[in-house]
């Protein structure tokens, strides 16, 4: 139950959300709610082919259709120098196809008309003459020497995008050579899609009289969008205002700049009037950024007592037709090298090869923290394979190999310096709370009766909060974040941040951080994000970076204000600054707690009674370059029962114990965990975007790409341990993505555990009932 | 085509194309943008409203089909500046995050509690299974509906105090 926002010392308390009053009244303002005078609507014509040359495009009938104001093709954009745009991965991506199309649902032409329906009607009238080309959907075949080259625009005539590696190959090989036990497992993390409930869209409003472009857009990173738009369009950055209004969920889907945005901007530039583009669900699933699609092989070298020695991982990454994976520029496979997980490996070697295929671009999305989902799933899955091979309890194997509490800060074999952790404590709490030993007993009894019950554990380490400037940048811009806090004379505060929430509750939690630092209640602090004209420059919200980066900035910014406030307090109390103490609510004279002034008094004095030599006003800005990432961790346990007749898996219980350091708002953290576990559940059991041999996307909308309902979704249990981040200003770590990173392995481990008596060591996700049914039938099990 | 439709108790007369979906009519012609669109296959329920007291997905009803009928949308839940118990329960139980499914979820919950004033968790989950939420994992939505049910049956007088202090200032 939420507490009032007027609570003092609000850090750590379940304060009711400030954003809710508008959202429960239908008064949120999302992009499609934006209506401007003379606004037109844009509809995009998409390719029915996965790979085809465009012979010609006939737009004459569309141009003559009622209400149509403009038709654009790739050639038109080329004349504006907008046919291609740079991606966050350093590749180029077509905005609209010129010459050929490279994936089904790719943007080919666009119509602008007075109404949405007119634009859709006219789009149907555009005739495109295609010459189909051979299609590549299998990333392994894409690397074959005779594979058709997809990207004719690239200098290197190959479908190979990059090779990337981390760790010590030689040391790893040596340890493998002498290891008594080696396990190896191929693991696929299927292509899935973040599917926020609100699809992507924008309203581009170019005002020729002011030479100013205003872009309302579903954006997790509005400042970066503005910079990219300035680079692409040639418009000066101070004449571009990007506004990311209320966002109906992002989950990484709304980090990139999509072709639709650029087309809408191009149309508005040409017409000098606002142009709205809102994609359909089908366009969202089939063409906007997918997630995962990693084909991984992991090997663990270990001793017979289960002590792990070395880890070797080889991955083929399917990136689709353009490498648009939203990664920091030095990390083409994201932070995948966190794959040694929570365990103390002596050495590790990880390599990833990126491959072009005739599919939609993307890869990094859906609470992945830059490929940590893949890494975490892989190591947690393969640790279970090792446990099974050794006949060891998976909890015992983990306890034997955890990085110990006293080893932090811990340098991983691939170079990460984990900030803090107490893995044993977290797992033991989880085992205790779920009644692990009793569950194993129950399982043994059920096995004896021929019933199928499984218990799955995942003890993951996340890496979030990118990041330190020496390592992390997006299109060259270092991955700091920022806060700007301004006191008004009456003691009320407006604060703006460089991040952009999409439902994670920043308007509440950042107010809590600032209020805690300044002796206010959350109610006294208004938080704003998303308007690039007013908010300080920041890199946006994704990869659970808000609390680590902007959260740090908010605290340090407030402390900067407190430094000045102390001077004003000294002036008001008529003592020297050294004699002033801060107790969290007020300044008082040392030894005389009765003589005090509140921050409200100080704020008023900053405007009315300023000490000599001090600038009037009370405000500060802070751009925070984090010294390291934060490494939250967790221990998740799933208990499943399997129906032998149908192969249906029922998740009987799921307990998630998370440790994200100091908690700002436990109610909001729980909500994040519930949502992320539901995504993990969907990924484990129902989500996949397959392509057929002709490159047809077989799950382009929510009829075939499944999102779980309340009836499908298990009840979630949560708990926490607290191991603060030593380097973070308030000891807080990110957490938003932990539940998606940590949970798929727990589900799959549970199902495999249930089927292990039949020798099953691995099942690739999604675990549809038919897969389990087939395994049971193969082993002669029937109802 | 001319239609007359009562929305949230207020009569409207409008000229609509026969193909115009009720969801777009509400959003674009009446500017009631609380009703959202989350899919194109009637899967998500973000557009859920009540039509003559019956739950419908307004993306799958034509505006002309609402002719002569009554529509209730999320904007009609609040009465005289007082939040509906479901609205305050969603707030208190943190049953929303991005807020995009919330209007449809509130309408579906409203219809459920009209029919079944004291639903079990299973009945709530079943009744809301036409409404997709991507943020909450449903746990707190179930709790909010249970809390609202208790509030509406008079078992509890509790209201979030912030509702009293700030609740009406955002309109």
B168 vs B11, which has greater pLDDT?
B11
A558: closest CA of chain B, how far (Å):
25
Q: Which residue has the tokens 């939690």?
A: A509
Question: B157 pLDDT exceeds 80?
Answer: no
Backbone phi and psi for residue A368, each to the nearest 5 degrees, phi listed first: -100, -15
* A24/B44 touch (CB, cutoff 8 Å), yes or no: no
In a domain, A454, yes or no: yes
Backbone phi and psi for residue A735, each to the nearest 5 degrees, phi listed first: -150, -15
A122: helix, strand or coil: helix
* B40/A701 touch (CB, cutoff 8 Å), yes or no: yes
In chain B, which residue's Cα lies nearest the Cα of A29? B33
If asked whether residues A605 and A683 sit together in one domain, one would say no
If asked whether residues A42 and A71 sit together in one domain, one would say yes
In a domain, A302, yes or no: no
B57: closest CA of chain A, how far (Å):
15
- Confidence (pLDDT) at A184: 98
Class of domain B85-164: mainly alpha
End-to-end CA distance of chain B: 33
In a domain, A330, yes or no: no
- Confidence (pLDDT) at B169: 36
| Whether A26 contacts chain B with CB within 8 A | yes
| Whether B13 contacts chain A with CB within 8 A | no
CA–CA dist B89, B106 (Å, integer)? 10
Q: What is the mean pLDDT of residues A507-512?
A: 98
Kindly report the pTM of this predicted structure: 0.97
Residue A782 banded pLDDT, cuts 50, 70, 90: confident
Chain A residues closer than 8 Å to B97 by CB: 249, 503-505, 671-672, 675
If asked whether residues A526 and A661 sit together in one domain, one would say no
Task: Examine domains B2-76 and B85-164 and report if their fold is the same.
Answer: no
B28: closest CA of chain A, how far (Å):
8
- Confidence (pLDDT) at A263: 98
Restricting to B residues 88-127, those with a Cβ less than 8 Å away from any Cβ of A are: 88, 90-94, 96-103, 106, 121, 124-126
Q: What is the ipTM of this complex?
A: 0.97
| Whether A704 contacts chain B with CB within 8 A | no
- Confidence (pLDDT) at A73: 98
* A710/B124 touch (CB, cutoff 8 Å), yes or no: yes
List, for residues A221-234, the tens digit of each pLDDT value: 999 999 999 999 99
If asked whether residues A421 and A498 sit together in one domain, one would say no
Nearest to A702 among B41, B92, B163 (CB): B41
In chain B, which residue's Cα lies nearest the Cα of A197? B38
B165: helix, strand or coil: helix
- Confidence (pLDDT) at B20: 98
Contact, A546 vs A256, CB < 8 A? no
CA–CA dist A765, A187 (Å, integer)? 9
Nearest to A711 among B28, B99, B125 (CB): B125
Strand segments (E) across A356-476: 362-363, 410-411, 417-418, 452-461, 473-474
List, for residues A289-303, the tens digit of each pLDDT value: 999 999 999 999 999
List, for residues A157-196, the tens digit of each pLDDT value: 999 999 999 999 999 999 999 999 999 999 999 999 999 9
Query: What is the number of residues in chain A?
Result: 783
If asked whether residues A609 and A742 sit together in one domain, one would say no
**3-class DSSP string for A237-295:** HHHEEEECCECCCCCCCCCCCCHHHHHHHHHHHHHCCCEEEECCHHHHHHHCCEEEEEE
In a domain, A311, yes or no: no
Do the bridges between strand B70-72 and strand A127-132 make them parallel or antiparallel, or are there none, so unpaired? unpaired
Question: A566 pLDDT exceeds 80?
Answer: yes
Q: B8 has which bridge partners?
A: none
Give me the residue spans of the domains in chain B.
2-76, 85-164
Strand segments (E) across A365-479: 410-411, 417-418, 452-461, 473-474, 477-478
Contact, A2 vs B160, CB < 8 A? yes
If asked whether residues A607 and A655 sit together in one domain, one would say no
* B27/A503 touch (CB, cutoff 8 Å), yes or no: no
In chain B, which residue's Cα lies nearest the Cα of A668? B94
In a domain, A296, yes or no: no
What is the maximum span of chain A, computed from C-alpha positions, in angstroms? 89
Do the bridges between strand B48-51 and strand A592-598 make them parallel or antiparallel, or are there none, so unpaired? unpaired
In a domain, A338, yes or no: no
List, for residues A395-450, the tens digit of each pLDDT value: 999 999 999 999 999 999 999 999 999 999 999 999 999 999 999 999 999 999 99
Question: B171 pLDDT exceeds 70?
Answer: no
Eight-state DSSP code of residue A422: -
* B98/A251 touch (CB, cutoff 8 Å), yes or no: no
CATH classification at residue A731: 3.30.365.10
Query: How many of the other CB atoms lie within 10 Å of CB of A710?
Result: 27
- Confidence (pLDDT) at B155: 74
CA–CA dist A101, A50 (Å, integer)? 7
If asked whether residues A431 and A485 sit together in one domain, one would say no
Question: B160 pLDDT exceeds 70?
Answer: no
| Whether A238 contacts chain B with CB within 8 A | no
Which residue range forms the structural domain that includes residue A273? 34-133+198-248+254-287
- Confidence (pLDDT) at B164: 42
Nearest 5 degrees, angle CA A602-CA A604-CA A609? 85
CA–CA dist A398, A381 (Å, integer)? 12
List, for residues A371-402, the tens digit of each pLDDT value: 999 999 999 999 999 999 999 999 999 999 99
- Confidence (pLDDT) at B161: 47
List, for residues A84-143, the tens digit of each pLDDT value: 999 999 999 999 999 999 999 999 999 999 999 999 999 999 999 999 999 999 999 999
* B41/A251 touch (CB, cutoff 8 Å), yes or no: no
CA–CA dist A509, A490 (Å, integer)? 22
If asked whether residues A615 and A650 sit together in one domain, one would say no
Question: B126 pLDDT exceeds 80?
Answer: yes
Residue A259 banded pLDDT, cuts 50, 70, 90: very high
Chain B contact probe: residue of A3, A18, A26, A705 with most B CBs at under 10 A: A26
| Torsion over CA: A574, A622, A528, A465 (sign) | negative
CA–CA dist B7, A10 (Å, integer)? 41
**pLDDT, averaged across chain A:** 97
CA–CA dist A672, A680 (Å, integer)? 12
- CATH code of the domain occupying B2-76: 3.10.20.30
- Confidence (pLDDT) at B156: 64
Domain boundary among the residues A589, A624, A659 is at A624
If asked whether residues A620 and A745 sit together in one domain, one would say no
Domain count, chain A: 3
Domain boundary among the residues A624, A645, A667 is at A624
Query: How many of the other CB atoms lie within 10 Å of CB of A344?
Result: 18
Q: What is the mean pLDDT of residues A733-737?
A: 98
Q: In A574-638, which ranges are continuous DSSP H helix?
A: 599-608
Restricting to B residues 48-77, those with a Cβ less than 8 Å away from any Cβ of A are: 73-75, 77
Nearest to B98 among A1, A247, A670 (CB): A247
Share of chain A above pLDDT 70, in %: 100
If asked whether residues A729 and A715 sit together in one domain, one would say yes
CATH classification at residue A58: 3.90.1170.50
If asked whether residues A638 and A616 sit together in one domain, one would say no
If asked whether residues A598 and A660 sit together in one domain, one would say no
């Amino acid at each position: 139950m939420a507490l009032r926002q007027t609570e003092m010392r609000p850090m750590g308390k379940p304060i009711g959300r400030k954003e809710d009053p508008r959202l429960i009244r239908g008064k949120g303002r999302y992009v499609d709610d934006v209506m401007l005078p003379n606004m037109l609507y844009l509809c995009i014509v998409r390719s029915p082919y996965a790979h085809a040359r465009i012979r010609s495009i006939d737009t004459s009938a569309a141009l003559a259709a009622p209400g149509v104001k403009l038709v654009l093709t790739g050639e038109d954009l080329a004349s504006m120098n907008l046919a291609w745009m740079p991606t966050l991965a350093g590749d180029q991506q077509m905005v609209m196809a010129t010459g050929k199309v490279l994936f089904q649902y790719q943007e080919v032409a666009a119509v602008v008309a007075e109404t949405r329906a007119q634009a859709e009607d006219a789009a149907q009238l555009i005739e495109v003459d295609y010459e189909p080309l051979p299609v590549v959907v299998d990333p392994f075949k894409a690397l074959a020497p005779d594979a058709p080259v997809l990207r004719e625009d690239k200098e290197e005539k190959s479908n190979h995008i990059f090779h990337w590696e981390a760790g010590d190959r030689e040391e790893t090989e040596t340890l493998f050579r002498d290891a008594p036990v080696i396990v190896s497992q191929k693991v696929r993390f299927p292509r899935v899609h973040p599917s926020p409930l609100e699809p992507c869209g924008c309203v581009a409003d170019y005002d020729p009289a002011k030479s100013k472009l205003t872009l309302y857009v579903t954006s997790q990173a509005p400042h970066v969008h503005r910079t990219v738009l300035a680079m692409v369009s040639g418009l000066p950055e101070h004449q571009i205002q990007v506004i990311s209004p209320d966002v109906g969920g992002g989950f990484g889907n709304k980090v990139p700049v999509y072709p639709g945005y650029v087309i809408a901007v191009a149309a508005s530039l040409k017409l000098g009037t606002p142009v709205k583009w809102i994609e359909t669900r089908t366009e969202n699933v089939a063409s906007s950024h997918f997630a995962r699609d990693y084909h991984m092989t992991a090997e663990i070298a270990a001793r017979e007592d289960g002590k792990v020695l070395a880890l070797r991982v080889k991955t083929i990454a399917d990136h689709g037709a353009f490498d648009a994976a939203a990664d920091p520029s030095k990390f083409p496979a994201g932070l995948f090298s966190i794959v040694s997980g929570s365990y103390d490996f002596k050495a590790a070697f990880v390599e990833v090869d990126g491959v072009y295929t005739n599919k939609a671009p993307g890869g990094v999305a859906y609470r992945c923290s830059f490929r940590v989902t893949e890494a975490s799933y892989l190591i947690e899955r393969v640790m279970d394979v090792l446990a099974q091979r050794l006949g060891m309890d998976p909890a015992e194997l983990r306890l034997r190999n955890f990085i110990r509490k006293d080893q932090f800060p811990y340098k991983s074999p691939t170079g990460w310096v984990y900030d803090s952790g107490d893995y044993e404590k977290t797992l033991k709490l989880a085992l205790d709370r779920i009644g692990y030993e009793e569950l194993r007993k129950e399982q043994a009894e059920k096995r004896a009766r021929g019933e199928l019950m499984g218990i799955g554990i995942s003890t993951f380490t996340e890496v979030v909060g990118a990041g330190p400037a020496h390592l992390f940048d997006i299109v060259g811009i270092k991955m700091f974040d920022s806060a700007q806090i301004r006191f008004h004379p009456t003691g009320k505060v407006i604060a703006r941040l460089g991040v952009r929430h999409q439902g994670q509750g920043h308007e509440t939690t950042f107010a809590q951080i600032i209020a805690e630092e300044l002796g206010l209640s959350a109610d006294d602090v208004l938080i704003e994000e998303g308007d690039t004209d007013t908010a300080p420059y920041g890199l946006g919200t994704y990869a659970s970076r808000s609390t680590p980066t902007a959260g740090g900035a908010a605290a340090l910014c407030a402390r900067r204000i407190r430094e000045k406030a102390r001077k004003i307090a000294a002036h008001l109390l008529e003592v020297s600054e050294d004699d002033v103490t801060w107790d969290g609510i007020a300044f008082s004279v040392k030894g005389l707690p009765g003589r005090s002034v509140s921050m409200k008094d100080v704020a008023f004095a900053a405007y009315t009674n300023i000490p000599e030599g001090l600038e009037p006003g009370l405000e500060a800005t802070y751009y925070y370059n984090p010294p390291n990432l934060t490494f939250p961790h967790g221990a998740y346990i799933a208990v499943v029962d399997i129906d032998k007749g149908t192969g249906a898996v029922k998740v009987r219980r799921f307990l998630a114990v998370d440790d994200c350091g100091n908690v700002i708002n436990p109610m909001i953290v729980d909500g994040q965990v519930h949502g992320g576990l539901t995504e993990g559940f969907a990924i484990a059991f129902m989500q996949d975007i397959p392509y057929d041999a002709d490159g047809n996307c077989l799950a382009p909308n929510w009829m075939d790409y499944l999102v779980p309902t309340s009836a499908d979704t298990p009840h979630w249990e949560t708990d926490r341990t607290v191991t603060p981040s030593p380097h973070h200003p308030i000891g807080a770590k990110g957490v938003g993505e932990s539940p998606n990173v940590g949970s798929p392995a727990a589900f799959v481990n549970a199902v495999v555990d249930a089927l292990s008596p039949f020798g099953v060591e691995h099942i690739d996700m999604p675990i549809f009932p038919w897969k389990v049914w087939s395994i049971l039938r193969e082993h002669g099990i029937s109802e | 085509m001319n239609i007359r439709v009562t929305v949230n108790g207020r009569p409207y007369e409008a000229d609509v194309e026969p193909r115009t979906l009720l969801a777009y009519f509400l959003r674009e012609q009446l500017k009631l943008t609380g009703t959202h669109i989350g899919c194109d296959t009637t899967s998500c329920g973000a557009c859920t409203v009540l039509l003559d007291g019956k739950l419908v997905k307004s993306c799958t009803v034509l505006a002309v089909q609402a002719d002569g009928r009554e529509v209730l949308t999320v904007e009609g839940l609040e009465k005289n500046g007082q939040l509906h118990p479901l609205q305050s329960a969603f707030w208190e139980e943190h049953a929303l995050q991005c807020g995009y499914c919330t209007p449809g979820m509130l309408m579906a919950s409203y219809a459920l509690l009209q029919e079944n004033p004291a639903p079990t968790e299973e009945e709530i989950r079943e009744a809301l299974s036409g409404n997709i939420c991507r943020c909450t994992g449903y746990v707190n939505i179930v709790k909010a509906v249970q809390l609202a049910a208790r509030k509406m049956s008079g078992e509890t007088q509790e209201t979030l105090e912030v509702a009293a202090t700030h609740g009406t200032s955002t309109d």
